[in-house]
Structures are given as structure tokens and as C-alpha cells.
Structure 1
């Protein structure tokens, strides 16, 4: 078995293979030099703790894997069943897991300074180390994009004592993911924390000082903001470039069937190849068989295990139907969700207590519950999860 992606999904797949009786050769390929690590802390406590948090994931004793780290995959031949690495090494496989995750989307901003001038993206551990060093009190931080990552980085900046401007193209933060009502609530949390939240606009151009360092930005609405540190939090793109020429359907992610088996463009299964985590587009019963891009920690864990079972059992493996979930920590409260709130066509607000910073929202599609979200009310999600699990079983 070959796992391309020394990630959370890749590690979970490796441990599941061994736990379920696979005793053959197991190779894990990683583009980074780091062993598998946890990504969610990188935009939170890794940035704010007095010392960098240890984000390494535990690797079980006796896993018996060969680790090829710092050696990115460069090509796949699904007919000869070989993976080619950037250094020319060819790895034959009987079963292959694609778990290469995603890369930060940078967008196009005029006048963008170089990486040594404090304009960052945040996807991996090295990114977080560099950003942490730049977030010193007294500096002015500009975050472009108020999604989950951008909101968490902005919150970390405020916790560290920086002046923070958060720019969002939509009318409220996270509108596409959690809707207008919850997005307005998140916007309130940001503003109460002292963040200058600018919505309905984006960065048109960065400005530089005479020495070439970042000095600020001009927004699309004509306003200007001062900044000497900037973070582009514009989403992510699946890391599928290495699959070019393989014949696998990989536009926007690796498309799979309900058992996470990779597909050719005509919908037929690629023999011996599965995908999991941020790189995978997996059909889900809550989405009426559509394949939503999730990009959350729980999805990587659950899909990694499910993909390993498919490698072992093939078409006899159970279909993937786990209820998606995610969480985010912002300004001392936890935002948590189950299901697919972004696909709802009707939103029902069951509680909205701004003073107590509590929110409970249900999302419905065609009259049926499809997701739920709470802020400061995590215990209330259990009942929603049970209902959603009934729909998917």
C-alpha cells in the first residue's frame, strides 16, 4: 500500500490498515519534511502560546511504515500502478490512497510585496512559524478573508495585542458556510474584540514603504488601511497538480464514489485508488449525492479510516455516510456545527443572545434538517447529530 500525503487523513488510513489486519508493505509519502501534524492549532494557540505548541500527531509503535518525507509526488500512472516522486523514484502499489490535502489560495493582488516583507499565507507548520515571528505587539495586522482561517488569525492577532483589520468580500463573515444570521453574529464577536471589520470589499493593491516593506493596502471601495503584516486567507485549492496526465477526474479535487474510490471522467472506478481528506470530493447523502468540499478536521479523520477499509474490502466496504462536523474558536467562545449548513435554503434561529454570546441555528433544505450550528451551546448539537445520522443511514 502507498499513501501519498503524510497528513491527518494519511496517518489515520495507515493506522486503520494495520488495525484491520494488513501486514504487507506500507509506504507514506510526504511533500513536507515534517512527520504528520495537526493543522487546526496553527491558526490558534500555536500563534498565541508563549512557546510554540507541539502539533505533532502520535504515530503508533509498530506501524511498520516506510516514511518518504520531503519527497513530493510528481505523477501517477494508474494503468501501471506506479507513483513517481519529484526525485524520479517510482513506487509500485497494489493499493493507493491520495491524501495530498490542499494549498493556500493566494489570489491576485497588485503590488504584492515579497515573502520577506510580511505578507503571509497559512497552510502548513512552516507558514505558522514564520507568521508567529511576525505577530509582535504594536504592529498592524491586515487579514484578507473572514472565513474560518481568517477569523481565527484575526482573533489571534488581537489576543497578542496587534491592531487588526479584517477585510471580507461578502456582506458578513462566513456567509456561504453558515448563512447571514450566524455570519452577523460572528461579525459582532470580531467587532466587540476590537477588530476593524470591513465587509463588502477586498484588497485591490498593497502599498509599500520606500524600503520595500509593507505599509498598507488600498481597498476596492477606495479606502485605505495601514498594515505592516498581512495574511491572505482566501481559501484553499486541492493539491492535485501531480495528477495531471493520469486520467483521473481531479478538477477541483479528486472525485470519488460513495466508498471513496477515485473515478475516471466517465464515472468508472480507478482500480486500487482511493482518496480522502481535503483533496477528495465525496458524495454525501445529506447533499442528495452531490460531493461538497468540506475541508474539516473530522472529515480527514473519518475519510482516512473509511478509505483504508475500501482498500482492504473494495466494493464490499460500507458507503461513507458520516455526519460532517466542524468547530472554530473565536474570542473565547466555540462555534460548532454538524451537517451541511451551507446547503440550507431555510434558516431557523432558535436562540440568539448577543449579550451572553450564545447562538443556536438550524438549517433546512426542502423542509428537511440538513445542519445545525451553535455558539456557546455545544451540548445542544447531540440531538441534531442524531437526527442527521438517521437521514444518512
Structure 2
């Protein structure tokens, strides 16, 4: 069929969906491009929601992927504030919540993820927050910037993952007392392991954040309909005027599941896609947080990544695949974070159990170093903390199948590029 007479539908108004639409036009697609988002907002990026936007250092329009006028200028039709509720694969049609039916020749699911909810009494109280959407950030920012000036019971955060720690840093910078309740023995334990977890515990502790490790929230108590305190399974009662649930996110797969698309049983769930981001239906693709991507090496399983760079890169990759291009999506996972005076970038994938050694290069005490996770001498991941312009050699080391000398890896005088195999 002539491209001008084809319709490509994108479900999901985040970074992956917006970048897919942009790529379709950049690659010369002249047919209809329709983007469906269940929020009334134009597509926006999420990292500022727990960083600059949350503390008021970034304006609202700075989080948008494109200027609102971009969509009309590039003939991208928007259906905002209207969720997609069903996919009819037989007739290639998507039904929206208001009954509108949209036909497609190819469909991209970029439905993202949603925050996991606390399953404890008291979550209906005013002052219980999640952070995934602009509206969430607006509500939480009001709490952080408009709190009492006197004796403040502060914010309790359930979960010491990236979102929990970034909000802790933002709240602490605004003078709000913060307590973080985390069942693991360190922050980010399931992502970075105990070695780097201890670094983040010390970083936040130096800024007044209190941690309660080895505990979970069991109840949120209130007064006059407002949060007053939380209780934990180790018998503590912690005062609070607000609670943030930062216990992870679940991929939004309900639409795909109802349509009979294959879901991934491993790697945190998600919609199962091949290396070209194609689902079990050859006309439907998935990208961003919701996609569980088959790894290129046979027998190595799948990976689902929830970070900004994955949305940035997988949306365009899916768009090219929809156009019939030869696509293999095998990007090294990458994310970044900013907390207090610490900026970091992480490349690779090395959860606890995957590595047998951590090598440090630089000065951990001065918070300027690179950490490497190794298995049998091979670099699985690297994280540069307040050290810049090293992402490329780190990612090349991660891609290399060859082992490296740990002593040389940890020696700041040895250029990283010299450790790369010819």
C-alpha cells in the first residue's frame, strides 16, 4: 500500500510515543500518524518530575517533548485525555473510551508503566502520593513547598529506589524532614547491590535523611482525614504529614493482554517483543517501559528497562521497524540521576547475583569515582559519579566479551580506552 494511504497508530503519550511519531516523519512517512494519550497533557518527559520540576527550578513547558504546535505542524493527530480501551486485531482497529474507533495499518504500544500501590490500611487519606505523572508532581510539589514552617513531621517515603531517593534529595533541599522506609539493607539494593547502596545511604544521611532499613509500612494513620503517621512491621510509629509510595512500577499490559498479545513471564513482565520490537502480532510493536525485548544472543532471555534513555531510543527504533527497516534493538541500558551535588550515569545491567566483583576507580570519599561490576573479569556495568565524558568507553567495555585486568580497571592512571580489545 502507498505510504500516503497508510495509518500508523501510537498508543502512549510519553517520550517513546512522541519520539516514534517524530521519527516516522523524519524517515519520510507521509501517511496518517495518530497519537493517543490518556492524559490531557501533551507528551512530556518524566525525569524532571522528581528533580527540577518538583522543586520549582523548571517551568511546566520545559518538560514537554515537543512544543505543542509541533504536532499540527508535522501532521500528527492527537487524541489526548482519551484512553485506548480495546484493540480489535481482526479488523485492525482501536477503540477509545468515548467510543471513537480508529483503524491502523501498524500499531505501536508505548503504554509505559504505572506506580505500584501500597496495599495497607490508610491509603485513602489525603497526603498519600505517587509520582508518575505531571499531576502527581504538581500535588507533591505543593506539599513540599507549602508545608508548615514550625515543627514539621515531614515526608515518609516507602521505598529507597531511584524515585524515592531523588524525591528525598528534593525534599531535603527544601528543608522538609524525610524518613525513608526500605525493606532491603541498603538503598538501591536490588539495582546496585550493597557496595553502592552504602554509598547512597551515606550521601543521604549526610543531608539529614533518616533511613529505616529492614522494614515495611503496614498502616498509614490519619487525623481529620489527613495523614498523621505511619506504622511499620518492626513496631515503629513514624510521624508524617505526607507519604510517598515509591515501591516500583508495573508495566501497563492490560490492553495488550486483552488483545491476546504474548506477555513476558520473566524480566519484570511486559509485552514480549523480538529484537525489532515486534509483538506476537506482526502489525503491532511495543516500545519504552512496557516492552520486554528479546536479547540478541540466543538463549539469553529478555530485558525490560524503565529508564529515560530506553524510551528515547526504543520509540524511534520501533518507528523504523514499522516502516520496514532492518532493526535490531540492542542498546546498552543507560540511566542518569542527580541527587544533591552528585550527578551520575550508569551503563549496563548487573543486578545482585549477576556479578562477583565491584572495582572502584577514583575517590569514593570525595564522591568522584567510577564503579564497575564484573563477572569473571568481564565488565557487566559501570557507573560514573561526578566523573564525566566516560560513557562511551564504559559502554564499549560493557559490550566487550573479553575480560579485563581488575587492577588496571581500578587504576585512574590507566586510560579506559587502553583496556578495550583491538
Identify whether the pair has TM-score above 0.5, normalized to the shorter chain.
yes
Map residues 182-221 of structure 1 onto 2, 5 A cutoff.
182-209=196-223, 211-221=224-234
Which of 88, 91, 94 is the equivalent residue of 1:80?
A: 91
Q: Which residue of 2 aligns with 1:65?
A: 76
What is the Cα deviation at residue 8 of structure 1?
0.4
SS in 2 for 1:341: coil
Q: Which residue of 1 aligns with 2:394?
A: 384
What is the Cα deviation at residue 208 of structure 1?
1.2
Does 2:115 align with 1:101? no
Which of 265, 273, 282 is the equivalent residue of 2:284?
A: 273
When residues 94 and 365 of structure 1 are mapped into structure 2, their CA distance, relative to the original with a 3 A threshold, is: farther
Which of 241, 255, 268 is the equivalent residue of 1:228?
A: 241
Q: Which residue of 1 aligns with 2:420?
A: none
> Could you state the TM-score of these two structures normalised by the residue count of structure 2?
0.86
What is the Cα deviation at residue 362 of structure 1?
1.1
Q: For each residue in 1:85-144, what CA deviation from the matched residue of structure 2 results, as whole angstroms up to 9, or x when unmatched?
A: 111211110010000111111130123243xx1110000001100111111354411111
SS in 2 for 1:123: coil
C-alpha contact (below 8 Å) 2:271/2:286 kept by paired residues: yes
What is the Cα deviation at residue 242 of structure 1?
2.2
Indicate the larger mover: 49-58 or 39-48: 49-58
Which of 173, 197, 213 is the equivalent residue of 2:187?
A: 173
Consecutive unaligned residues in structure 1, runs of 5 or more: 264-269
Distance (Å, rounded) in 1 between the aligned partners of 2:53 and 2:111? 23
Which of 293, 298, 323 is the equivalent residue of 1:282?
A: 293
When residues 309 and 391 of structure 1 are mapped into structure 2, their CA distance, relative to the original with a 3 A threshold, is: farther
Distance (Å, rounded) in 2 between the aligned partners of 1:296 and 1:281? 13
Distance (Å, rounded) in 2 between the aligned partners of 1:334 and 1:14? 31
Over alpha carbons, which structure has the higher Rg?
2
Distance (Å, rounded) in 2 between the aligned partners of 1:67 and 1:238? 23
SS in 2 for 1:337: strand
Distance (Å, rounded) in 2 between the aligned partners of 1:286 and 1:323? 14
Distance (Å, rounded) in 1 between the aligned partners of 2:298 and 2:118? 28
What is the Cα deviation at residue 238 of structure 1?
1.0
Does 2:258 align with 1:245? yes
Q: Which residue of 1 aligns with 2:384?
A: 374
SS in 1 for 2:335: strand
Distance (Å, rounded) in 2 between the aligned partners of 1:206 and 1:338? 37
C-alpha contact (below 8 Å) 2:164/2:246 kept by paired residues: yes
Distance (Å, rounded) in 1 between the aligned partners of 2:43 and 2:35? 10
Distance (Å, rounded) in 2 between the aligned partners of 1:354 and 1:180? 15
SS in 1 for 2:43: coil
What is the Cα deviation at residue 365 of structure 1?
3.6
Q: Which residue of 1 aligns with 2:407?
A: none
C-alpha contact (below 8 Å) 2:229/2:237 kept by paired residues: yes
Distance (Å, rounded) in 2 between the aligned partners of 1:190 and 1:285? 38
SS in 1 for 2:319: helix
C-alpha contact (below 8 Å) 1:254/1:262 kept by paired residues: yes
What is the Cα deviation at residue 331 of structure 1?
1.5
Does 2:277 align with 1:260? yes
Which of 165, 189, 194 is the equivalent residue of 1:151?
A: 165
Distance (Å, rounded) in 1 between the aligned partners of 2:103 and 2:401? 40
C-alpha contact (below 8 Å) 1:322/1:389 kept by paired residues: no
Which of 340, 351, 369 is the equivalent residue of 2:361?
A: 351
Q: For each residue in 1:183-205, what CA deviation from the matched residue of structure 2 results, as whole angstroms up to 9, or x when unmatched?
A: 11011111011000111111111
Q: For each residue in 1:28-63, what CA deviation from the matched residue of structure 2 results, as whole angstroms up to 9, or x when unmatched?
A: 000000001111000011121267443112254632
Count of residues in correspondence between the two structures: 381
When residues 391 and 11 of structure 1 are mapped into structure 2, their CA distance, relative to the original with a 3 A threshold, is: farther
When residues 286 and 146 of structure 1 are mapped into structure 2, their CA distance, relative to the original with a 3 A threshold, is: farther
C-alpha contact (below 8 Å) 1:206/1:218 kept by paired residues: yes
CA RMSD of aligned residues (A): 2.0
When residues 284 and 94 of structure 1 are mapped into structure 2, their CA distance, relative to the original with a 3 A threshold, is: same
SS in 1 for 2:379: strand
Does 2:318 align with 1:310? no
When residues 112 and 6 of structure 1 are mapped into structure 2, their CA distance, relative to the original with a 3 A threshold, is: closer
Distance (Å, rounded) in 2 between the aligned partners of 1:282 and 1:67? 27
Distance (Å, rounded) in 1 between the aligned partners of 2:295 and 2:389? 25
What is the Cα deviation at residue 349 of structure 1?
2.3
Q: Which residue of 2 aligns with 1:17?
A: 24
Distance (Å, rounded) in 2 between the aligned partners of 1:78 and 1:143? 42
